[in-house]
Amino acid sequence: MSNGANGFHKEMEKLHVNGDANGRPSSSEGESDKKKKMNRKNSSPMMPAFMVSAPGKVIVFGEHAVVYGKAAIAASISLRSYLLVTHLSKSKRTVTMQFPDIDLIHTWNIDELPWKIFQSPTKKKYYYDLVTTLDDELLQAIQPHLADISPGKSEAERKVHRNSAASFLYLFLSLGSPKSPGCRYTLRSTIPIGAGVGSSASIAVCLAAAMLLQIRTLSGPHPDQPPDEARVQMERINRWAFVAEMCIHGNPSGVDNTVATHGKAVVYQRTDYKKPPTVTPLWDFPELPLLLVDTKVPKSTAIEVAKVAALKNTHQELVGSILDAVDTITRSAESLIEEEYFDNEDLESLRRVGELMTINHGLLSALGVSHPRLERVRELVDHAGIGWTKLTGAGGGGCSISLIKPDVSKEKLDKLERQLENEGYQKFRTTLGGDGVGVLWPAVLKNGLDEDEEGGMEIDLEKFLNAPGNDGVEKLVGVSGGLGGAEREGWKFWRVESQ
C-alpha cells in the first residue's frame, strides 16, 4: 500500500517546490533566489483546491426479495455529487461545511472540537481500520457541537442538518488531527434527495475520499494503476463512507456507498442478518441509457416492507414463489450482462434486459408495492414504444427507471419528457453503470476551448456556488460536461475491469 507516493502527490510536491500554492511560477524571482529557496527546508503551503465526485445509484433488480435473503443488483447512475475542497491560510483555524442544496452551512473552530477523546489510545481509528459500528462515546462528544446548527429552521430541517453535520464531524475527527488545516467543504449534487437513489451515500463517499486525500493515504487515481492497487484504494474509501452512512441511517446495508465508490454495479445478498452481507462488484457492467423519473410521491421503505411481510404471512407459499421468481430474474440478468456477446448498443441485447425489468416490475406490482403514479410512467413509456420501465427501490412512490431503446428518436423522447413534466414528474436522462468515485486535482478543467492553452478553467468557490441548478453544475464541473458530452480532461477515476 502506497502512502502518498503516487502521481497525485508527486505532482503536488512538484507544485510546492516550483511555484506558489496554485502552481504558478513567480515572475519576480531571480534564478539565485529560486536556488536559495530550493535549498531551504520546505514550508507547508496550502494545498490547492480540489474536487471529488461520486454517483448516485438505483436498484435494477431484486427489490423486496433482497429482504428475504435473495440477491439484488444495484448500479450507479450518472447523476453525481460534487465536493469542492478549498484550504484556508494557516491563521484561520476553522472548518466549514456548506451544502447549499439543503440550505446548510456551518463553521466550527478546529481547536474547540473534541480531539482529546477521538485521539485517545482506546478510541483512535486509523485510515486503514475497518469500522463496523459507531462509538457511542464519540457520538456523545460531538453532540454539543451540533446544538447551534440551523437555529432558524424547522425541527424537521434541523434534524436533517444535524445528521449531515454529525456524519461530517465524525469523519473529520476520525481521519484528521488537531493540526488539520483550516478548510471549507462545499457540496453540490445533481441527485434527487430523499428519492431512494443514493444521494447521502454519494456525499459520504465524496467526504471520505476528500479527507483521505488530505492526509495523503490514497494512491492514484492514474491510468496505469494496477487493478489490485486500485481496489485497495476504493475499499479504503468505501469503509469510511460506510461510517458516514451509519451516522445518518443507523444500520445501512452498505450497498449504496459500495456502488457510489466502485461505480458500475454490484450483486448484493444478505442471507443472515447476524453477519455482514455479500457484496460482489460487477466490474464489467455495461453503460446503459436510462430515464429516471421521480414521481414526487413521498415513499416509506418501512411501510412497503411491512406491506409485503403482511402479505407473505397471509399467503406464505404464493408470496414465497413470487420472491423466488424475483431472485431468478436477478440471477438471469447477472448472467445475461456477463455474456461475452452482450452489446449495450444492440437492440436485441437491450430487449432481453428490458424484458427482465418488465417482469420484475410485474412481480413487484403483484406484491402491492407499486403506485398509480409509477404505473402511469409505464403506460406512457410503453405507449410511445420508447423502452422498458420498472419501479426502483421500495416502491409506493419514489422513482421509476426506464431502459431506453437505442433507436428512439430525439423528438419522441422530448415529447415523452414534456408530458411527464406537464403531469408533475421530475425526469432525468442518465446512464446506468458509469464510473464511481473520481478526483479533479487541482480544481482545473479543460473544456476544449482557448482557455485550455493557459492551463484550463479554474473552479473557484464563487463559480461553484453560483452555478444555476443541476444543468449549471454539470456544465461547470460535470465529469461528462465536455464538448458533445465527452468525458472531460482532468477528472480521474479508480477503474477496475475483471477481464
SS3 label, residue 203: helix
* Helix 255-262 vs helix 199-214: crossing angle, to nearest 10: 60
Q: How far is residue 499's CA from residue 183's CA, in Å, rounded to a whole number?
A: 41
Residues serving a catalytic function are 256
Cα torsion 214, 232, 262, 139: sign: negative
Nearest one of 129, 161, 171, 162 to 143, comparing CA atoms:
162
Beta strands per DSSP E along 359-486: 387-392, 399-404, 426-432, 438-440, 444-445, 457-458
Q: How far is residue 247's CA from residue 74's CA, in Å, rounded to a whole number?
A: 22
Lookup: cell for 221: 487515481
Nearest one of 395, 400, 358 to 376, comparing CA atoms:
400
Check if the beta carbon of residue 442 is closer than 8 Å to that of residue 311.
no
Q: How far is residue 366's CA from residue 379's CA, in Å, rounded to a whole number?
A: 17
